[in-house]
Every structure is written in C-alpha cells, then in structure tokens.
Amino acid sequence: MLTFIKPTLVLDERRARRNIERMAERAGRLGVRFRPHFKTHQSHHVGRIFREFGVEAITVSSVDMASYFAADGWKDILIAFPLNILEIGEICRLASRCSLGLLVESPEGLPALAESVAAPVGIWIKVNVGANRAGVDWNDRDLLTKICREAVRHPRLRLRGLLTHNGRTYAARTSDALARVHADALRKMRRARQALAAAGFRDLEISVGDTPSCSRLDDFDGVDEIRPGNFVLNDVMQLELGICGEKDIAATVACPVVSTHPARNEAVIYGGAIHLSKEDVFSRKEGRIYGRVCRLHGAGWGKILPRTLVSSISQEHGVVKTTASELKKLKAGDILFVLPVHSCLTVNLWKEFIRLDGVKIPTIRSFDI
Amino acid sequence: MLTFIKPTLVLDERRARRNIERMAERAGRLGVRFRPHFKTHQSHHVGRIFREFGVEAITVSSVDMASYFAADGWKDILIAFPLNILEIGEICRLASRCSLGLLVESPEGLPALAESVAAPVGIWIKVNVGANRAGVDWNDRDLLTKICREAVRHPRLRLRGLLTHNGRTYAARTSDALARVHADALRKMRRARQALAAAGFRDLEISVGDTPSCSRLDDFDGVDEIRPGNFVLNDVMQLELGICGEKDIAATVACPVVSTHPARNEAVIYGGAIHLSKEDVFSRKEGRIYGRVCRLHGAGWGKILPRTLVSSISQEHGVVKTTASELKKLKAGDILFVLPVHSCLTVNLWKEFIRLDGVKIPTIRSFDI
C-alpha cells in the first residue's frame, strides 16, 4: 500500500490505459487518424502506452515538448501552437529528426521558415471557429488563400490542412449543446476547406480535437484527424461537463490533512496552488471549485465524498469544505486524494507520478528541457 | 540588451533590492523583527540580498523550502504552515541544523514532536483572526490554553507566541478598509495574548505579516515580528490594491507575440498558465485579469500599456486585449512583458530568473529538493 508524507501526484495507470484504449477504438471506428495531445501527461512512459495501441502520430504544445518526445523515438509530431518564429533554430534541428507539423495563422513567417529548414515541414492553418483564442477566422477566405499560396511557393513547406481547437465545447453544459457547437465547428471547417478547394488548394485535411466532443460524439464527417489530450487522465472539469465518469479520472494529488475545523465543517490540507494549479471550475450552486475529494480505498482512491470540495486554495494550503459526518472521520495526518480541476496544468507542476504500485513515472515540467 | 526566444522569467534586481531596503527600514522604524517570507522568490541569491540588510530570521512555507535555505546558511527559520506530523523525520533533521519554528493549531502533534526532536524547536500557535483559512479562533481561549499547556510540558518545545496571516487585507479595496481590518486583527491578537497571560503563559510574542499592511501601515502596536514576502517582487494584485506602484514590480515574464487579431484588438502571446500561473484578479470593470502588459524599454520593461491586459489564458497561450493603436505597433516575434497577478505562484513555476544584465539567478520549484 502506498504511504505519503507530503503532497504527491498519483497515477492510476490501469485507468489511463483504459482511457487510451477506448479513445483509440473510437478513432478506429470513426475512421480518423488518432493524433493524441501529449501535453496532458508529458511522460515518455505514458506515451509508450499509446504506442501499444497503434498510435504513431502525436500532438504537443511547444517546441521543447516536441524535442522531449522526439528523444523517445516519436517520428510524427505536430506542434499545435502558433509558429513562434523566434524558435526557428530549434525547429530546424527538430525537422531533421522527425516529420514535423507546424501551425500558422498568417503567411508572414513562412518564407523565413522555408529558407531555414533542411527537411520539409508540414504546414497546418489554425482556424478560428468561434472560440476566438487564436487562428484565422473560418470565413476569412482571403487570408486562408494567402497562407495557402505562400505555403505552396516553397518546396520545403508541405501544406497539410486546416486545424482547429473548438474550445467552446467546454462551455456546453448539456449533451445537446455539445453536439450543437461541435456540428457548427465541423460545418465551418468543411466550408473553409471547400472554399480553398475552389481556389485550387485540394486535398486539405481537417484536424480537430477537444476531449468533450472526441469522448462523446460520433459525427466526425469530413474530419481526417482527432487530437484529444485530456481524456487520458480526465479531471473534475470533464466530470462537471458530464464527459467522463469519476472512475475515468486517472490522476489525483494525495494531500495530508493538517487540521480540521468542526465549527465550519472544513479541513485544511497540505495541497495548494503549487500542487494542483489555481484552475477552478465555477458552479452556480457551489461557487469556485478547486478539486473534488476522495479517501484511500484499497490500493487506490475511493468514491468522491458527497457534498465535499476544495473550496479555496492558496500557495500551499487547500481548504476542504465537507459535511459534519465526513469531517468527524478526519484527523490531522490522514490522506485525502484531490481530483484536480484541470489535469494538464496539475501534471505540469510535477516531476513524477507515483503509480499505485509505488513505481515512479517521470514527467517533465515546461522548463526541464 | 536581453533577447528572448521563448517565455522567460525576468528579474529587475535593482527594484527587488529597493523593495527589500524599504521594508527593512520600515521594520526598523516600527521596532519589530523582520522575518521575511522567502516563498516569493525561493532563491539563495535573492535571500542573500536580505542578509545585506541585516536580516537573520526567515519564514518559509514548507519543510522542503526550509531545507533549501538551511543549506545556504540560514540559522533561524520559521515554517509558517501548520505542522504536518507525517514529515517528522525531515523536521527532526532540520531542527539539528538550525533554530526551527513550527506552527500548530492543536495540541495533538506536540507529544510526538517532543519525543522525536533532539534539539529544541520553537512553537507558534496559528491564530485565525477572521480569514478562516487555518488557525485557532482568536477567542477560543480553551483551545489556546490547551495548546500552551501541552507545549510547556515538553522541555524540547519552546513556546514562542501567536502568529497570524491576516488574508482579509487582500479584500480591502481602500486605505481605510485596509487600516480597519489590520487594526481589527491586531486587537484580536493582543486580546488572545492577554487571555493567555492571565492563564499564566507570559511573554508570548505576536507575529503578523501580510504585504498590504506591512507596506502601507504604521500601527504595529504590540507586534514583535512581521513576515511579509510578496513585497520583494510585488505584482498586479498589489498594484490593483494600491499597495505598490508599477515601478515596484520587480519580476515579469517576457512573452513572444505569435499573432495579432485586429478585428478584436487582440494579440496572442506564447505565455500561458504554465508560465504565469492561473491566478487572476477580478475587476468589475475589466473582468478576470491574468496580467498587465509592458513593452521593452531600455534595459528593462517600460510603463504598463494603457487599456491593455491579459484577458484569458490557457496552458501555453495568453490573449492580450489592447487598443487599436497599441495593436498596430505589434507584430509576431515582438516581445511583451507580462506583469504577473501573483508573483509567488509565477516564480514557483520557474527554475531561474534572467536578470536584466543577462545573468541567470536560480530559483527552486516545490519539487526540486
């Protein structure tokens, strides 16, 4: 049995494996390429589980992360973050080691890129279908065409297709709403592709990839590739959205209880923003939620404690709001398992997972490379 | 001049030094011991600047952080986090190397602690004056007395005093409100001390320490020690509260611009939650703010750009909302300096600062030790 003396990131690898298997099967059934996003786990070990299920192409969110996975033998890597031309040196080194895909949202960086790389790189156009974070507006035919025109001018650039991250699915609080925003995104992507085909740019692929739609929906008409990432661990955000069940959450942070406060039904845990991240999910009923809470159960963690949540968080402290009866069972020195709100941000804080069998699974943080 | 290719944590050491000097002078003038909290910078180098100003006693927020600073010769260290009895092994090792202070909020852990330590440790009682995070309620005379009684039973425990962190000063939006919540906290602390003196526990010290009150107020009647931390770097939170000026902010994250979106007056920067933390400050006028933004100026960063802020943030992306005229001056590849909302959480994400002269200043993250 695991023992803990301070906050510890714990991995239930059996659950992660099941999540991977399920998504790989879905991708197969949907007839799309499965290019999972590896920013969630940032771990060679977890990456290798994907390989067992036939995955050969991956997504990452930085040049550094691409280097980390290239070092473990990954040969087809897409950096799903807008081209940062200042990193051109490292991009060129990477392009010589693997088949590299890059994201652009303007034609400006392309000539410099084409001049610098020795091996061909794939060019994906980031398309904005309404999330308004980054990307070319799906109906900005002029800009889309300009980028394509510039890309095909250079033999070392290989125009691949259109890519979006439909972040609006995270605001969809019902299945209907999810299906609606997803269908809307696909319609816009197909229209953009059509417009470019009419302008002479044929055979462009469509790449999409948010965990909510990839986990729950079956209509991927016209899509060539999906890039979900979060599903491998899931988290309280996915749970609140109804995208996963609590048994699909594969990572928690084990936190020692340091005090209990019966007058306000609260416990203070050693586990704060530097262990969980400060991500919250807002619930009208419960306010800002920083995590759900479980107790030890067998070789892992048990069910989510009823009417219990991490209600506030500072650098090292978390405050767990619970019921009088749950609080009575708690004392300083006990361990609570906190299910994180956003597993990607939580995992990025740690240098390793502890697996339920006690084995340490290294993971990188953004600046370890 | 500094050049950047990806997000980089930048330190203006001259400003940090000025902030330290000012607070050391204030503590001297107020006649209180200055025991700065080192969780903000987590850096041996910055710690040594404090030494130049006569600081000998420090505060940290974890056993690991205490070990890190003990390794640099600090001899008087207070761990301002409730005793986590599971870490008793490391606590004992530390107690043999330095004069260690610990925080308790119940008598339970004390016998085990007293049995294990070879050298005496200082015991501070964490008092809740209204922030309701941790601590014994200031007017819970029974519990306060019980803890004192238990502490004095053990020759290896040295009962030192009462400690609070008055987090409510962060909700005070005017100078009057700040003065009021501060005065209220001090009154409660003095009353608690009085009650314990009446019960036979004399000469207990009072330790307080939040950056807003320590930066701005002059009434520390009855206080023996202040423990501010954030002031060394300051941040957008302190700025919004009117506690510091923008020239007192000593750390920023340099972020490359990766795209501009004139239709919505936004730029996307390479700089997200893993570089800044997901801490926000809420403004009724502007919504959630994730950072303020400056441009390069001389050997550092310039003034905060008017009507410009980081309005949303994901793992690697930040969206900067700005004006049409500011946006016109920006292009992909430019560097923006983002002033963080909460410098402690931001710095904890990095393994080093880059000083304005290009020298790397190592800093630890929670799990580097």
Which residue type sits at A82? Answer: P
Looking at the structure, tell me whether residues A281 and A354 fall in a common domain: yes
- The whole-number pLDDT of residue B369 equals 59
Which of A312, A316, A344 has its CB closest to that of B61? A316
* Cα(B268)–Cα(B316) distance, integer angstroms: 10
- The whole-number pLDDT of residue A365 equals 83
Averaged pLDDT, B50-67: 97
- The whole-number pLDDT of residue B232 equals 98
- The whole-number pLDDT of residue B365 equals 82
Structure tokens at B20: 């330290």
Pairs of CB atoms within 8 A across A/B: 156
* Cα(A23)–Cα(A3) distance, integer angstroms: 32
Within a domain: B46: no
Looking at the structure, tell me whether residues B172 and B319 fall in a common domain: no
Neighbours of A82 (CB within 10 A): 26
Do the strands B281-283 and B287-289 form a parallel or antiparallel pair, or are they unpaired?
antiparallel
Q: Which residue of B has its CA nearest to A140?
A: B263
Q: Please, are residues A276 and A318 in contact by the beta-carbon 8 Å criterion? A: yes
- The whole-number pLDDT of residue B1 equals 72
Looking at the structure, tell me whether residues B219 and B88 fall in a common domain: yes
Within a domain: A177: yes
- The whole-number pLDDT of residue B367 equals 65
Best of A3, A6, A164, A330 to mutate (most B CBs within 10 Å, chain B): A6
Collect all residues with Cβ–Cβ distance below 8 Å to A203 and sequence separation of at least 6.
Answer: none
* Cα(A293)–Cα(A283) distance, integer angstroms: 16
Collect all residues with Cβ–Cβ distance below 8 Å to A96 and sequence separation of at least 6.
Answer: A118, A119
Looking at the structure, tell me whether residues A312 and A213 fall in a common domain: no
> Residue B294 pLDDT more than 80?
yes
- Between CA A80 and CA A87, with CA A86 as vertex, the angle to 5 degrees is 55
Contact between chains at B274 and A351 (C-beta distance less than 8 A): no
The percentage of chain A sitting over the pLDDT mark of 90, rounded to a whole number, equals: 94
> Residue A117 pLDDT more than 70?
yes
Within a domain: A341: yes
Q: Which of A128-137, A193-202, B203-212 has the lowest mean pLDDT?
A: A128-137
The percentage of chain B sitting over the pLDDT mark of 70, rounded to a whole number, equals: 99
- The whole-number pLDDT of residue B320 equals 98
- The whole-number pLDDT of residue B114 equals 97
> Which residue has tokens 């008055």?
B166
Neighbours of A69 (CB within 10 A): 21
- The whole-number pLDDT of residue B132 equals 85
Contact between chains at A86 and B349 (C-beta distance less than 8 A): no
Structure tokens at B143: 């519990």
Task: List phi, psi (to 5°) of A56.
Answer: -125, -15
Looking at the structure, tell me whether residues B90 and B164 fall in a common domain: yes
Which residue type sits at B232? Answer: V
* Cα(B314)–Cα(A128) distance, integer angstroms: 15
pLDDT band at B260 (very low <50, low <70, confident <90, very high): very high
Looking at the structure, tell me whether residues B190 and B335 fall in a common domain: no
Within a domain: A209: yes
Q: Please, are residues A339 and B339 in contact by the beta-carbon 8 Å criterion? A: no
The percentage of chain B sitting over the pLDDT mark of 90, rounded to a whole number, equals: 94
| CA distance to partner chain B, nearest, from residue A17 (Å) | 24
* Cα(A299)–Cα(B109) distance, integer angstroms: 27
pLDDT in tens, B308-364: 999 999 999 999 999 999 999 999 999 999 999 999 999 999 999 999 999 999 998
Looking at the structure, tell me whether residues A192 and A132 fall in a common domain: yes
Looking at the structure, tell me whether residues A284 and A332 fall in a common domain: yes
* Cα(A166)–Cα(B92) distance, integer angstroms: 52
> Residue A1 pLDDT more than 80?
no
Structure tokens at B353: 């600062």
Report the CATH number at residue A345: 2.40.37.20
pLDDT in tens, A210-244: 999 999 999 999 999 999 999 999 999 999 999 99
Task: List phi, psi (to 5°) of B321.
Answer: -90, 130
Task: Please say which residue of B211, B232, B253 terminates a domain.
Answer: B232
Which of A62, A137, A319 has its CB closest to that of B316? A62
Chain B CB contacts of A85 under 8 Å are 332-333
Best of B87, B137, B274 to mutate (most A CBs within 10 Å, chain A): B274
pLDDT in tens, A120-171: 999 999 999 998 888 999 999 999 999 999 999 999 999 999 999 999 999 9
Report the CATH number at residue B174: 3.20.20.10
Q: Which residue of A has its CA nearest to B135?
A: A259
- The whole-number pLDDT of residue A131 equals 86
Which of B133, B137, B278 has its CB closest to that of A317? B133
What torsion, rounded to 10 degrees, do the Cα atoms A266, B349, B104, B160 define? -150
pLDDT in tens, B120-137: 999 999 999 998 888 999
pLDDT in tens, A14-49: 999 999 999 999 999 999 999 999 999 999 999 999
Looking at the structure, tell me whether residues B127 and B194 fall in a common domain: yes
Looking at the structure, tell me whether residues B120 and B221 fall in a common domain: yes
Within a domain: A42: no
A29-62: burial string, b at 16+ Cβ within 10 Å, e else: ebebbbbbbbbbbbbbbbbebbeebebebbbbbb
| H or E segment and range at residue B113 | helix B110-116
Identify the DSSP state of B331: -
- Can you list the alpha helix ranges (DSSP code H) found in chain A? 13-30, 44-52, 63-70, 88-95, 110-116, 141-153, 175-198, 211-216, 236-240, 273-276, 324-328, 343-347
- The whole-number pLDDT of residue A132 equals 85
> Which residue has tokens 């980054």?
A134
pLDDT in tens, A260-298: 999 999 999 999 999 999 999 998 899 999 999 999 999
Task: Please say which residue of B172, B203, B232 terminates a domain.
Answer: B232
Q: Which three-class secondary structure string do you get for A281-330?
A: EEECCCEEECEEEEEEECCEEEEECCCCEEEEECCCEEEEECCHHHHHCC
* Cα(A329)–Cα(A266) distance, integer angstroms: 12
Residues paired with B281 in a beta bridge: B289
What is the domain count for chain B? 2
* Cα(B113)–Cα(A124) distance, integer angstroms: 60
Residues paired with A267 in a beta bridge: A260, A320
Within a domain: B20: no
Domain that holds residue B142: 75-232
Looking at the structure, tell me whether residues B80 and B228 fall in a common domain: yes
* Cα(B293)–Cα(B261) distance, integer angstroms: 17
Averaged pLDDT, B285-305: 96
pLDDT band at B2 (very low <50, low <70, confident <90, very high): confident
Contact between chains at A315 and B39 (C-beta distance less than 8 A): yes
On average, the pLDDT of chain A sits at 96
Looking at the structure, tell me whether residues B257 and B147 fall in a common domain: no
| Long-range contacts (CB closer than 8 Å, 24 or more residues apart) made by B191-200 | B191/B138, B191/B139, B192/B127, B192/B138, B192/B139, B192/B141, B192/B144, B192/B162, B193/B161, B193/B162, B193/B222, B195/B141, B195/B144, B195/B145, B196/B144, B196/B145, B196/B148, B196/B162, B199/B141, B199/B145, B199/B148
Q: Please, are residues A82 and A105 in contact by the beta-carbon 8 Å criterion? A: yes
Within a domain: A27: no
- The whole-number pLDDT of residue A369 equals 59
Give this prediction's pTM. Answer: 0.96
Contact between chains at B317 and A256 (C-beta distance less than 8 A): no
Collect all residues with Cβ–Cβ distance below 8 Å to B232 and sequence separation of at least 6.
Answer: B16, B19, B20, B23, B36, B40, B41, B46, B250
Identify the DSSP state of B40: T
Q: Which residue of B has its CA nearest to A350?
A: B367
Q: Please, are residues B283 and B265 in contact by the beta-carbon 8 Å criterion? A: no
Within a domain: A261: yes
Averaged pLDDT, B190-197: 98
More confident residue, B356 or B367: B356
